[in-house]
Chains A and B, each alone.
Chain A
Amino acid sequence: MIKTRRKIGVHLLWKSRFWVLFLVCALLFGIRWTKGAAYLDFYSILLKPILPGTAQKEWIKEGENIEKNIRLKLLEQDNTRLRKALSLKEFNSDQRISAAVISRSSRNWWKQLEINKGYKDGVLKGQTVIGPGGLIGLIDSTTPLTSRVRLLTDPGHQIGAWIDRTKHHGILTGMGTNRPKLIFLNKNTIAKVGDAVTTSPASTLLPPNLTIGIVQFVEEKALPSPYAIVQLTASPEAIDWVQILKDNAKK
């Protein structure tokens, strides 16, 4: 009996492992075409639980801060040297007195703080008081062990300030609210919302370039001169420790 020849068909290809080779080739081609996307995604999913999360971010930020601090020191040194050359008032960061707030009246008729350092510690009337965020006020009076700080927000309290971007001067006047008013000295002052307000670098009464706040609102048509409402960057209501700058005292 003659055996009939088996039909030639796809099953022969299947049996001859041709498809295995085909699949491997297709897979390799896919990997090459997607540049290993699937592998990388899978790898990232595997690594996710053991990846350094916020700690890594903090290390990077710390590194950035160190770099910025070094740059700041260099710039300050440069600034001091240039200010000496121009005979302008210096901002000496070494001459600071740290003090704790012992009594706070930041929303009453009088906006003031009592701090635990007095003239025995070298605090004098007129010295500048700064907190985290910038300038908060000036020393109004001192006792042997305590001092009273008149805040920038106190009604009628006036200091000279300027807008860093436009280089225009104004008088920062406390209005009782948390947002003092910056009254410009000339009519052509153009300030924008978001401009930084600092002490004037040419000031002889206050240390230069201390941050005061950010412009929140501008009234250009006001008479006799335009004004801006300034949001203070340092909040006296939340500050427990302040620093007194010794270099602008009224002796």
Chain B
Amino acid sequence: MPKNNNNLLIFFTIICLQACIITSPDWLKINGITPCWPVILLLPFSLKNSPWKAMMASILLGIFIDSFTISDVSYIPSLFLLSLVWSTYGLHNKKIELFLNIGLMAIFGTAFVGFSIWVQKIIIYSVLRNNWFHSWSIYVLISEVIITGLVAPFVCSWLIFAYKRN
């Protein structure tokens, strides 16, 4: 595949993913919950690039994603830590593009992001410190982890290939 085509593919993939974030299509939901798109975007980029670049990307991505949510809690802290871990782990000639490895990393990443939002909400709203909120949070967390684990291998492995060829 020519280099220019790869650039084009990456560009369109990012556009498509952003469109998915904004429109949140019903056919990509499980129990009404969408995949964790920031994790899907950040994972391949962090694996391929240096920690410095990955951290910068995580902050920019966090700012972008936060603009589409009600601004009380933020994605930035969790994405920042994830980018650091993933970029340090890196590809290093590993066959990381294998389907299950990517899926597993996305699952752990989504769980961490979800847990961070959960904790932030509890810190900000004292009224949420009861069983009703926790049961709902577990429900969202599990659903999000499942759907991201299903979607991520397809998108992330393809993105890693595209990054490598670039």
Residues of A within 8 A of B (CB): 102-110, 112, 114, 140-141, 148, 150, 154-156, 158, 173, 175-177, 181, 183, 229, 237
Contact = CB atoms under 8 A, between A and B. Distances in A.
A110 B34 CA distance: 11
12 contacts: A102-B23, A105-B34, A109-B69, A109-B73, A109-B121, A155-B121, A155-B136, A156-B121, A156-B128, A175-B130, A176-B140, A177-B132
Contacts of A154: 70
B133 interface: yes
A221 to B, nearest CB: 14
The B interface is mostly helix, strand or loop, or mixed, namely helix
B19 to A, nearest CB: 11
Contact of B70 (A104, A107, A150): A150
A26 to B, nearest CB: 73
Contacts of B128: 155-156, 175-176
A105 B22 CA distance: 10
A229 B111 CA distance: 29
B136 A176 contact: yes
A110 B75 CA distance: 12
B70 A176 contact: no
Given A109-B140, A140-B70, A155 B31 contact: no
- In the complex, which range does the number of interface residues on chain B fall in? 20 to 34
Contacts of B23: 102-103
A107 B31 CA distance: 8
Contacts of B133: 155, 175-176
Interface string B16-50: 00000011100000011110000000000000000
Nearest to A106: B32
Given A103-B22, A109-B117, A237-B32, 16 more contacts: A105-B34, A107-B32, A108-B32, A109-B69, A112-B69, A140-B70, A150-B70, A155-B125, A155-B128, A155-B133, A155-B136, A156-B72, A175-B136, A176-B128, A176-B136, A183-B127
Nearest to A222: B130
Most A C-beta atoms less than 10 A away, residue of B73, B124, B133, B135: B133
A-B pairs, 10 with minimum CB distance:
A107-B32, A156-B125, A176-B136, A175-B132, A110-B69, A177-B136, A109-B117, A110-B70, A175-B133, A173-B127
Contact of B140 (A107, A150, A183): A107
Contacts of A229: 132
Contacts of A140: 70
B137 interface: yes
B153 interface: no
A107 B136 CA distance: 9
Contacts of A237: 32
